[in-house]
Chains A and B, each alone.
Chain A
Amino acid sequence: MSIARALFGFPGGVRLPTHKDASTGSPIATLPVPPELVIPLSQHAGDPARPAVSAGDTVHRGTVIGRAPGDFSATVHASSSGTVTAVENRPVPHPSGLPEPCVVIRTDGLDTRPADGPEPLKDWLSASPARLRRRVADSGVAGLGGAAFPAAVKLTPGPDTDVALLVVNAIECEPWITCDDVLLREHAMEVVTGARIMRHILGAPEVVIALEAEKRAALDALTRALDDAGEPGMTVTRVPVRYPAGGEKQLIQTLTGREVPSGGLPLDLGILCHNAGTVAAVARAVEHGEPLTDRIVTVAGTGVGQPRNYRVRLGTPIHRLIEAAGGYRGQGHRLIVGGPMMGFALEHDNVPVTKGCNCILVTESHAVPPPEPALPCIRCGDCADVCPMRLQPQQLYWQAMGRDHEGIREDGLFDCIECGACAYVCPSKLPLVGMYRHAKSEIRTSDEDQRFAEQARQRYAFRQARLEREQQEQAERRRRKKEALQAERGAGEKADRKAEIQAAVARARKRKRGGGES
């Protein structure tokens, strides 16, 4: 079933040490349900869900505990059965480090399902796309590749948008991460079914499942599953390993040779990209009526005893995961959510696993040494050579240093996908990505300020105009009044004159007549 596809490749990129073997040696293990689950109401891109339960409520695995307030959000479910003990702010895995609203559940160990949960839709082929979309939305499926974009939103391209290609992204170009690899090895059929369901929803676009050339075992499993499914229009494509080959824009370019327009979406090209894990979650939501309550997480890195992939209930504290993986090893740990290139570091391990949490990387300081002190940029251009967006990171750096907001925007700061390839190769060890992020937020703030100032200016101008208008109107009124008065007076005078004339005429007539008569 695996048809070789002509690949177009993408510019730049780096070869990274992969470290994948460490966690693919053993099958996926299931982490027991912890005594306490802390489930954030905002695990996805978009608006946070609104709490649907309160302290004291009994919940089951799959009970809705957070409702999406609008379309651009995702439903949140209880990951196991028990009692809600609190709805309060708790630390969550987020780069800001700020606590956010979470539902805290004391689990009862029974893991019961709600009586009124969604029924399995084995015969999804005869279900309408709208119904399936609804099911995906109700199941709280969000992008499991890290960005946690609500899946149902992506599956609703709008009435006059045709999706011609659905890309299932099973490329894990960041080192250490293997959760999609093991998912494919053990549950390839889930991915294939999920892709078929999506295909059904989207009106039968072509489907390409992309994975790295190195993932042999996953490829075999996938090919078998595809053969078994026997659905036409679905192929597997192997992509050379090079970071960031799994970036959405890079993958689309590799597969089609086309570029997502700046500031646009793949949908503008009629393409949709979904992560393999997300696709599998859709299959489970539809076929089995299982809302998203767990995910596979890679625990890896030299700082942990036994790197491995775990199926983990959402809301499980990360320290449980690390304990299960043999605990910390060595010294000077760094805890990273996601991969080493784009992931963010955590201050402590008492935060819950969320939908976007694909990997917990535990490193020792010697394996990931603190960056050496940065030297100035020597303009070697290595960063530009590896930039997949064809930016000139060194120019952006100089502009960021000089706070040249106009220039840096023009040179594509907002096209930067923050992949970190530039900072990885920089011989001067410059924290380029950090600087770009900073510049972006500075520009956004100043844009905001400007908008605010503009609004204030407009408000002021509006008020000024209103006052002026009022003044004018007043003046106008006064003038009219005066005119009216004058007109009245004038009319009176005229009447007087008329009378005078008439009197004079009458007198003259009288005289004439009198004279004639006399």
Chain B
Amino acid sequence: MALKTPPAPHIHGDNSVSRIMRRVLYALVPGVVAMTAVFGWGVVVNILIAVAVAVVCETAMLRLRGKPVALFLNDWSAVVMAVLLALCLPPLLPAWMTAVGVAFGLIFGKHLYGGLGYNPFNPAMVGYAVLIVAFPQAMVQWLPPTGLAESALGPLQTLQVIVFGQLPPGLAPDALTHATPLDHVKTRLAEGLTMQEIRGGPVFGVVAGSGWEWINLLFLTGGAWLLHVRVIRWQVPAGVIIGLAAPALLFWLINPEQQLSPLFHLLSGGAMLGAFFIATDPVSGATTPWGRLCFGLGVGVLAWIIRTWGGYPDGIAFGVLLMNMAVPLIDRYTRPRIYGHGGR
């Protein structure tokens, strides 16, 4: 009778990478619903395309690298990456661009570094960065929120537009393009208008961009649930929120006519998606408690800088990528004091 003698511990908790990733997906649902309600079916179509491309790429890369396909596909990380990237894209972005972004992010941002766990950069943001650098025009063509749209597209029409680039007859391409509120305000401010004057327009909702504020609030809700089930820790989202809101508040207090309010910042663009879902990517983020806070703060501050002075519509993506580079350093200098070393 020779029994198995595995090493201790002999029992394990029930957590798994797969469960973590699936929970992230569940938590995205409210935000996705809100986005779909505001921007129409394009949001869903983008997600489906991105996920399909991701699964194909992931399978191919796992095969090429001789890794167990079923084991790694089952971790759901590729799907999460695809959905996160899709949620950052304009709702009517041509399908092939979405595919390029996802494929690039997965292949170059993840597998060439060694796959799950080894990528220093957030793969979704790598895909996003490539798209915005390669197709700067297309990447800022957002739809008007439904309330403002002259004509809302049905699901089939949306699919046609995205996949084949065919607009429904009688619809001018212009009707479908609309800058995001962040972009809109930036352009207007550059034109010399004051916040007072800009605020009057229909682009504004209660405190921030019309529609966007609800989207952000619902991503925040999903994020709060992730915190509750301990998939993420509070430090990163808190860091991002403070990093974004603190400088915004300071500048806004000094010059409210030329600066966006902190609330506007927090409820615009990818702020909450970024704070709770993107910057919290464990693999490419910091891991020590203080390190996470530093990482989040960095992302927030960089996002605010890029939003305020940069040439890109949103700053979360570049904030995340830049902070990814600082992670080894952050982790090193924020290592907690080990038990029994100095102290009391």
A binding-site residues for B, Cβ under 8 Å: 11, 14, 16, 97, 175, 249, 253, 257-264, 333-336, 340-349, 361, 363, 368, 370-373, 375-382, 384-385, 388-392, 394-395, 411-412, 415, 418, 420, 423-429, 431, 433-434, 437
Contact = CB atoms under 8 A, between A and B. Distances in A.
The 6 nearest A-B residue pairs measured at CB:
A376-B117, A420-B9, A434-B7, A262-B340, A345-B5, A381-B287
A101 B206 CA distance: 82
A412 B338 contact: yes
Contacts of B117: 375-379, 428
A425 B343 contact: no
Contacts, number: 164
A341 B72 CA distance: 28
Contacts of B68: 373
B246 to A, nearest CB: 25
A381 B344 contact: no
Contacts of A381: 233, 282, 287-288, 292
B58 interface: no
B6 interface: yes
Q: Is the interface of A mostly helix, strand, loop or mixed?
A: loop
B169 to A, nearest CB: 49
Nearest to B16: A427
Contacts of A415: 338-341
Interface string B1-21: 111111111111101110110
B13 A388 contact: no
Given A379-B117, A427-B20, A253 B9 contact: no
B3 A373 contact: no
B116 interface: yes
Interface stretch (B40-48, B85-93, B329-337): B329-337
Given A333-B3, A380-B20, A175 B11 contact: yes
Interface string B266-302: 0000000000000000110101110010000000000
Which has the most chain B C-beta neighbours within 10 Å: A97, A343, A368, A392? A392
A424 B13 contact: yes
A384 B290 CA distance: 12
B12 A424 contact: yes
A201 to B, nearest CB: 27
A376 B118 contact: yes
Contacts of B257: none
A425 B1 contact: no
Nearest to A395: B331
Contacts of A334: 3-4, 6, 10
B3 A348 contact: yes
14 contacts: A175-B11, A334-B3, A343-B10, A348-B1, A361-B10, A371-B6, A375-B117, A376-B117, A378-B20, A380-B287, A389-B340, A390-B338, A392-B336, A423-B12
